[in-house]
Structure 1
Amino acid sequence: MNILSISALLFFLLIGVFVVDADLAMQKKTEIKTLLELSNHHATFAVDPVLKNEGVIDLMEKEALARFDKRMLENGGYRREGNKYLPGKHSVTTDSLSFARHYIDFLSWRNDHQLFLRFDGSDVSFDRVVAGARRQAGGLLQITVVTEKGEELRLAPKTMVGPSHIVIAYVNERPFVPILPAHAFPVVSVEEVKW
C-alpha cells in the first residue's frame, strides 16, 4: 500500500469514528430524555391529599423527589447523591448526571416563566427564574442553560397545561474516543402534576 492509500483509509476510518460517536450521543440523549420523562411522570403523583380535597393541586416536593429517585434507580440504574445521579454498571451514561428541578404551582402555571441555569463544568444550578405575562391557556416555559464556556443553550419552549414539575439534567460525558469532544447537552422533562 502506498502512502496515499493509507491516508485515505485513515481518513475514512476517522469519519466512521465521528459518525459512530455522534450516533452514540444521540442515542444517549434519547434514552436520558425517556428516563427523565418516566421518572418525572411518577413524581407528579405526589399530590397533597388534603389540599386536593379543597380543589387545590399542590405537589409534595419531598415525596415527589423520592418518587423520582425511585424510578431513576429502577429504570436507569442511577442513584442520587446531592444534585447528581451516579450511574450504575448498566446505566446509559458512564459519568454522573447533574440535575436541577423547579415546581410551578397552582397559582403560577398560567404565567410565562423563563428559567436560567448555569453549568459550571460539574454542576447545573439555577441563576434565576423570571415570571412574566399571564396567559389563559397556560404559560410559556422557556429554559436557557449557560455552559462553562459561556455558550447559551435554549431548549424548545413548552406550554404548561397545569401546575408543573420541571427537571433539567445536564449530561457531560467523556467521548468514547479521547480525541473527540465530550457528549455535553441538557435534557428537560416538564410534567403536569396529576390530580
Structure 2
Amino acid sequence: MDPADVLNVRFHYGGEFIRIGPSLDYVGGDTAMSVLERDKLSLPELKGFLADHLTVKDSMKIYFLMPGRQLVNGLLFLHTDEGCMQMSEHITDAGVADIYVEYNGEQDEPEEDASGSDFEDELDDLMDNDDEPDAVITAEEEDIVQGNVQAVNAVPEQDILEHILVPNEGGVVTEIISSPVKHNIRVDALSQGSLPRLSRF
C-alpha cells in the first residue's frame, strides 16, 4: 500500500493531564502504534483501532496534538469525523499523529467477585437463610429408635395388660384404668367405636 494512503497514529493512554505552571504534561500511561487507511478515517474507525489497546468507554475524550505545537496550546478535541479528517490533513506521508486519551476518572479496573470465592458465597447464602434447619438424627440415635420400636413390636399381645390396677397409699385398689396400649393393638375394637374405659370403686 502506498505510504501516502495510510496514517500512522501513536496512541497515548492510561495517563493523565497535569498542569505544571504554564505548561501541560501527560503523565504516566503507555503508548501504542496503529496504521489507519486515510480514505476510511472516521471517529468510529479511530476508536476501533484504539480498542485494540484498551477498553474504550463513552466518557473518554480523545485529543490530537497538532504538529509543532505543545500540549498546552495544540490539542484538538476529536469528537466528529470532520475533526479526524482535519488531523489527517496535518500529517504528512512519513508523519505520525499523536493521539491522547483522557479518562475522566474512569480507569480500567479488573472485575472482582463479590467475595472472591464460591465457597464464601455459598456460606453467605446459608448465613442469610432465616429458615430453621431440619432436625438431624445421628446414626447412633437412629439405632436407639429402631431398637425401641423392635422392642415394642416384640411384646406378645397376650402379655399386655388390658387393665391397670391403681392402689391408694394403703394398698387398696381404688381405680382400674384400661390399658391404652391394649386398645391400640386391638384395632378392631377401635374401629367399632370402643374407647378406653375408666372405672372406679
Structure 2 length-normalised TM = 0.23
Q: Which structure has the highest strand share of the two?
A: 1
Q: Larger radius of gyration, structure 1 or 2?
A: 2
Higher relative contact order (CA closer than 8 Å, sequence separation 6+): 1
Structure 1 length-normalised TM = 0.23
